[in-house]
Amino acid sequence: MYSSDFKRSMRRLMERLVAPILGRLGITPNMVTLVGLLLTVGVAAVLATGNLFLGGWLLIAAGLFDLFDGALARATNQSSRFGAFFDSIIDRYSEAVIFLGLLIHYQRADGPQTLTAISLVYCAIIGSVMVSYARARAEGLDFECETGWLGRPERITILCIGLILNWLIVALWVLAIFTNITAVQRIFHVWKAERTAKAAEQPKVRKPLWDFLRIEK
- Per-residue pLDDT tens over the stretch 188-202: 999 999 988 888 877
6 pLDDT above the threshold of 70: no
pLDDT of residue 80: 84
- Looking up residue 94, the CATH number of its domain turns out to be 1.20.120.1760
Classified as helix, coil or strand, 169 is helix
Q: Residue 213 domain-assigned? A: no
| DSSP secondary structure, 125-172, as one string | HHHHHHHHHHHHHHHHTT-----SS--HHHHHHHHHHHHHTT-HHHHH
Q: How many domains are there within the chain?
A: 1
Q: Residue 56 domain-assigned? A: yes
Q: What range does the domain containing 18 cover?
A: 4-196
**Tens digits of residue pLDDT in 56-82:** 999 999 988 777 777 777 777 787 889
**Tens digits of residue pLDDT in 8-46:** 676 676 667 676 776 677 788 888 889 999 999 999 999
